[in-house]
Amino acid sequence: MKYDFDRIIDRSQTNSVKWDKDFLKKKFGTDDILPLWVADMDFQCPQPMIDALKKRVENGIYGYSWYKTPAYLDAVSNWMKRRLNWSIDDEWIVFSPGIVPAICMLIQTFTNVGEKVLIQSPVYYPFFSSVENNGRIIMINQLNYENNRYTFNFDDFEEKAKDPLTKLFVLCSPHNPVGRVWTEKELKKLGEICLENDVLIISDEIHHDLILSGYKHILFSTLSEEFESNTILCTAPSKTFNIAGLNTSNIIIPNEKLRESFLNTISERNSVMNSNIFGITALIAAYNEGEEWLDQVIKYIEGNFQFLKDFVNELLPNIDVIDPEATYLAWLDCNKLGMDDEKLSNFMIKKAKVALDDGKIFGSGGEGFERINVGCPRAILKECMNRIANALKDESP
């Protein structure tokens, strides 16, 4: 079927973190603001998923649920094989209500208080709190930024991986917020450094289905048997199919010893034992029948990225759009506007009246940037950009 992504759906009375006026006022100090910040899309989900959820609701009983059924496991494994060419065993799949909780529990499992975790900034900001709140030490390997493109700083990464206290590396692939799809050569070099220094890899690949035309995502675990054994891969249908509220993620751990250790943490120590029945239902329907919707939504997102780049090139010469390779999150370099982080944040909220994610929250290297979510009807994106352009006109002397 043909999906209409231009349709604007009112989310204001749906307990949406993105749109709820009380939440916006608490977070941004005002509810008179257009939100394009948090990473969920303003598109209705695939119709087969909606139909499956309606059918499940009609059952009328929503008790404790269990994910390890043939329908669920087959949906996950078939998706990974069909879309990403990775054959996985059912035993490798471990349910988690989300990837961030899983990363916290993985840090608890495989490091001790006072040990170090490598992360690459600017990066998805919950990585920082996941390390610090568990009493571990953050080791920053800042990405190189040159000519509007990001690359790894391998020399710095290797130096920090050699530290005997560095036990874990959290990779973001594809990268949020900079939008890179890392190449096989780049990933292999990281993996080899980790193997040489006995550093375990957690690979957050939640955006792996949202790859733009001309790019190919490579699952870190597929690069070699050694990498597969040294990698814990985090996946979920939440970003792909816009179902973050259904709290369903799959942590894929081929190494039996690592898997058993994590299962002990997640189920025995933290009592995460039951999955969300609607998340189970949605995942099965999405992975089995959602590809038509996904292919269409990626095309629409590509159109939004093109609109954004054209708008910025024509009307906002002091802002640069980092060329996106994946996700629906655009990374805007606003440093030529000459505003410090506080002034830039206040400008967006109080003058442009748009809610974006300030680059500074993504750590070192994010200063002077803004992250904008283009996973919305084009009319909303256009309104956002017009507000920014008009506010900048008012700023001009």
* Domains defined along the chain, listed by start: 21-46+291-395 (3.90.1150.10), 61-289 (3.40.640.10)
Is pLDDT above 80 for 272? Answer: no
Do you find a cis peptide bond into 46, omega within 30 degrees of 0?
A: no
Q: Is 151 left (phi over 0), alpha (psi -120 to 50) or beta?
A: beta
pLDDT of the residue at 119: 98
User: What would the mean pLDDT of 142-154 be, rounded to a whole number?
Assistant: 97
Q: Distance between CA atoms of 86 and 175, rounded to whole angstroms?
A: 20
pLDDT per residue over 196-230, tens digit each?
Answer: 999 999 999 999 999 999 999 999 999 999 999 99
Which of the four pLDDT bands, split at 50, 70 and 90, describes residue 397?
low
pLDDT of the residue at 268: 80
CA torsion through residues 394, 395, 396, 397, sign: positive
pLDDT of the residue at 326: 98
Is pLDDT above 80 for 395? Answer: no
Which of the four pLDDT bands, split at 50, 70 and 90, describes residue 271?
confident
User: Residues 221, 208: contact at Cβ < 8 Å?
Assistant: no
Q: Distance between CA atoms of 248 and 330, rounded to whole angstroms?
A: 25
358: Cβ contacts below 8 Å, ≥ 6 apart: 341, 344, 345, 348, 366, 369, 370, 371
Which of the four pLDDT bands, split at 50, 70 and 90, describes residue 167?
very high
Torsion angle defined by CA atoms of residues 23, 25, 30 and 33, in that order, rounded to the nearest 10 degrees: 0
pLDDT per residue over 234-270, tens digit each?
Answer: 999 999 999 999 999 999 999 999 999 999 999 888 7
User: What would the mean pLDDT of 135-143 be, rounded to a whole number?
Assistant: 98
pLDDT per residue over 79-126, tens digit each?
Answer: 999 999 999 999 999 999 999 999 999 999 999 999 999 999 999 999
Element (H, E) at 220: none
Rounded CA Rg of the chain: 21
pLDDT of the residue at 267: 84
32-36: which pairs have CB atoms within 8 A and are 24 or more residues apart? Answer: 32/353, 33/349, 33/353, 33/354, 33/355, 34/353, 34/354, 34/355, 34/380, 34/383, 34/384, 34/387, 35/354, 35/355, 36/354, 36/355, 36/356, 36/372, 36/373, 36/374, 36/376, 36/380, 36/381, 36/384
The owner of tokens 């891969």 is: 233
pLDDT of the residue at 270: 77
Percent of the chain surpassing pLDDT 90: 96
pLDDT of the residue at 396: 62
Q: Distance between CA atoms of 397 and 384, rounded to whole angstroms?
A: 23
> What one-letter code names the amino acid at 266?
I
Rounded to the nearest integer, the mean pLDDT of the chain is 97
User: Residues 243, 279: contact at Cβ < 8 Å?
Assistant: yes
User: What would the mean pLDDT of 136-143 be, rounded to a whole number?
Assistant: 98
The owner of tokens 């610090």 is: 132
Do you find a cis peptide bond into 126, omega within 30 degrees of 0?
A: no
pLDDT per residue over 296-350, tens digit each?
Answer: 999 999 999 999 999 999 999 999 999 999 999 999 999 999 999 999 999 999 9
